[in-house]
Amino acid sequence: EDGGNAGGGGGGGNGEQPYIAIVSKGFQHQFWQAVKNGAEEEAEKQGARVTFVGPPTESDVEEQINMLTNDLAKSPAAIGFAALDSQSAEPLLQQAKSQNIPVIAFDSGVDSDVPVTTVSTDNKAAAAEAAKHMSELVGGKGKVALVVHDQTSKSGTDRRDGFMEWMEQNAPDIEVLEPQYGGGDQLESANITKSIISANPDLKGIYAANEGSAIGVIKGVEESGKTGLKLVGFDSGKAQVDAIRDGSMAGAVTQDPVNMGRELVIAAMKAIDGEELPKSIDTGFKWYDKSNIDDAEIKAVLYE
C-alpha cells in the first residue's frame, strides 16, 4: 500500500498511518457532524487518519464530484463515500478501482459494483416506522402534514416516500397533505409550519424529516400557539431531545450516525488489510419517545 502518506497538510505526522478520505453528502448538518465524530473517534482508536468533506447542500452533486476527485488525487488508502447521485460518481469509482483504492459506501447505497461494502440504514424503513407511530398517535385518522428538508436528494425523498407509502397502505383514513420543503433551514421550516397550521385548522400531526425541519416544526407549532398536534421527528440533537422530554414532540426516529462513522472506518481498515466484508452493514434505526429516551441503548444513539 502506498496510500498512507500524510498529505501536505501535515495533519498526521506519522507517515505510516493509513489515510481514509471520507466524502459525505453534507458537512454542516448535525447528522453529518455525528458521522464525522464517529469516524474520527474510531480512526484515532485504530491509528488511522481521516479527512471528512461534504458539499454545503444535498443537491450540490457537482461539488461532491469535485471533492471526490480531489480526494482521489491524494491517493488515500481507502475512501468512504456517501453518493448524492450514484451514477454521476461511477467514472470516479472506476478510477478508484483502477488505483486499487477500496471504496466503502455509506448512508445510502451506491448503484455500482465498486464499493466493497455499504454501511447504511434504510431511510424508507425508518420513515415507515415514523409513519406507524404517527398513525397510532392520531388514532388512525385525520390530516397529517410533512415538512421535508429536500425534494430531490435520496435521503429527502426516501424519508418522504417511506412515510407516505406506509400511510397509503396502512392508514386509509389519514389524509396526508402535500409535502412542504424547508431546505432543512430551521427558520424557513418554522414559517412553513405556521402556514400549514393556518391553512389547516383541523390538522392532527406533523412529521419532520430531519433535524433542521424538526426544530422548525417545533418552533412553528410553539409560536402558533396551537396545542394538541402530534409531532414526529427524525434524527436527534438537543432541541429535539428536549422537545420529546417536555412532550412538545411525541417522538422521533433516529439512525445511529455516530455508529455509522465508526462502522465506516472499521470497514475501511478491514478493506485496507484485504479482509472480506459483507455486502452490507446495517447500522439500524430506532424509535424513541418519552418512555424510552433514557434507556441506555437509546441514549447511545442520540447525539446532542
Partner 1 sequence: MTALETPPRESVAGGGFAAVAKGRLQQLLAFASLIAIFAFFSVASPFFFTYGNFTAILFSTVVIGTLAIGTTFVIITGGIDLAVGTGMALCAVMSGVFIVNMDLPLVVGLVATVLFGGMMGLINGINIALLKIPPFIATLAMMLVAEGLALVVSDSAPIYFSEEPSYTKISTGNLIPGVEFPNAVLVLIVVAVIAGVLLTKTVLGRYTYSIGSNEEATALSGIDVRKWKIAIYAFAGLFTGLAGIMISARLGSAQPATGMGYELQAIAAVVIGGTSLSGGKGSILGTLIGALIISTLNNGLQIMSIPQEWQNVILGCVILVAVYTDILRKKEA
Residues lying near partner 1 in the complex (CB under 8 A) are found at 5-9, 11, 27-30, 33, 51-54, 56-57, 59-62, 65-67, 69-71, 73-75, 85, 87-88, 90-91, 150-153, 157, 177-181, 185-187, 190-192, 194-196, 198-201, 212, 215, 219, 222-225, 237-239, 242, 304
Q: How far is the CB of 53 from partner 1 (least distance, A)?
A: 5
Q: How far is the CB of 147 from partner 1 (least distance, A)?
A: 11
Nearer to partner 1, 33 or 123 (CB): 33
Angle at alpha carbon of residue 243, lines to 58 and 214, rounded to 5° = 20
Q: How far is the CB of 166 from partner 1 (least distance, A)?
A: 20
Nearer to partner 1, 268 or 281 (CB): 268
- Count of CB atoms within 10 A of residue 40's CB? 19
Q: How far is the CB of 160 from partner 1 (least distance, A)?
A: 10
Nearer to partner 1, 190 or 267 (CB): 190
Q: How far is the CB of 37 from partner 1 (least distance, A)?
A: 9
Phi (first) and psi of residue 164, to 5 degrees: -70, -40
Nearer to partner 1, 277 or 302 (CB): 302
Q: Are 145 and 203 in contact (CB under 8 A)?
A: yes
Q: How far is the CB of 254 from partner 1 (least distance, A)?
A: 16
Nearer to partner 1, 57 or 117 (CB): 57
What cell was used for 95? 478510477
- The residues near 281 (Cβ < 8 Å, ≥ 6 apart) are 117, 118, 119, 120, 263, 267
Q: How far is the CB of 144 from partner 1 (least distance, A)?
A: 14
Nearer to partner 1, 162 or 212 (CB): 212
Q: How far is the CB of 167 from partner 1 (least distance, A)?
A: 18
Nearer to partner 1, 238 or 290 (CB): 238
Nearer to partner 1, 133 or 219 (CB): 219
Which residues lie across from 103 on neighbouring strands? 79
